[in-house]
Amino acid sequence: MTENPGHPGDPAAQLAVAYADTSAAQLGFSLSAPLQEPLAREDRDIDGITVSVRLLGASHQVLVEDGVQRICETVACLPEVTSALPESFQESGYYFSSRVEQVNPDQLAALVEQLAARVTEQSATGHPCVMGRFPGEPHAVTAIVSESTADAISWHTWHTYPKAAEVVITSSRIDRGPVARP
C-alpha cells in the first residue's frame, strides 16, 4: 500500500525528502536498473499479475510480474540509468512513450489539481496509483496512474519540474500474457 503516514488509503503521499529540482533532459530510461528503495509505493494484484508503482523522488519505477517473468521500468536520474529518455520504445509486447511539455505556473497548478483527482479516482477502482508531493514545493509532484483492460496493463506518469517549467509525461503498456523480459 501507499506509504502515507497519517492518511492510510490516500494515494497522495507527502514525501519526507526535500525537492531537488532538475529538468527533463536529466532523466534516463532503463528496463534493467536494479530496484531502488521507494519513497512511496502502491502494490496491487491485477488478475494474477503483480503491479508495483514506486516513486523515487522526481522519478519512478514500475514493476510488473506474472510469476514467470517481470519487467522493471525505471525513469530516473540515477547512475545505473544511462540511456536517454526515448520518445518511444517497443520490445516484446511492451510499449513506452514520453514527451516534455512546457507549462506556465497557472497551467502547472491546474495540472497538479487534476492529477490529485485522477490518482484518487483511479486508485478507488483497485488499480495501483500514487502521487508524491514534496515539502515546500506544492507544484513539484510525481504521479503514477495504472489501468487495465482484458488485453493489457498500462500506466501513465507525470514528473513536474516547476523551476524548469516542464512536465515529463510517460505512457507505458504491456500486453497481457507473459511479460516482456525474463
Q: Is 48 left (phi over 0), alpha (psi -120 to 50) or beta?
A: left
Q: What are the b/e assignments for 22-31, b being 16+ CB within 10 Å?
A: bebeebbbbe
pLDDT of residue 68: 79
Distance CA 83, CA 28 (A): 5
How many beta carbons lie within 10 A of that of residue 125, not counting itself? Answer: 10
Given pLDDT bands bounded at 50, 70 and 90, which one contains residue 11? low
Question: Is pLDDT larger for residue 38 or for residue 135?
Answer: 38
pLDDT of residue 61: 97
Given pLDDT bands bounded at 50, 70 and 90, which one contains residue 17? confident
Question: Is-contact 3 9, C-beta < 8 A?
Answer: no
147, three cell numbers: 489501468
Residue 75 has pLDDT above 90, yes or no: yes
**Overall average pLDDT of the 62-77 stretch:** 91
**Overall average pLDDT of the 40-57 stretch:** 92
Given pLDDT bands bounded at 50, 70 and 90, which one contains residue 176? confident
Residue 2 has pLDDT above 90, yes or no: no
Residue 142 has pLDDT above 60, yes or no: yes
Residue 171 has pLDDT above 70, yes or no: yes
Residue 109's contacts (CB-CB under 8 Å, 6 or more residues apart) are: 139
Alpha-carbon distances, residue 60 vs 29, 31, 68, 141, 174 (angstroms) = 10, 12, 23, 11, 17
pLDDT of residue 1: 36
Residue ranges of E strands in 108-151: 129-134, 137-148
Q: Is 74 left (phi over 0), alpha (psi -120 to 50) or beta?
A: beta
pLDDT of residue 4: 38
Query: In this prediction, what percent of the chain has a pLDDT beyond 90?
Result: 65
How many beta carbons lie within 10 A of that of residue 32, not counting itself? Answer: 11
**Overall average pLDDT of the 111-131 stretch:** 94
pLDDT of residue 182: 38
Distance CA 6, CA 156 (A): 26
Whether the model clears a pTM of 0.85, i.e. scores above it, the answer is: yes
Question: Is-contact 135 147, C-beta < 8 A?
Answer: no
pLDDT of residue 178: 55
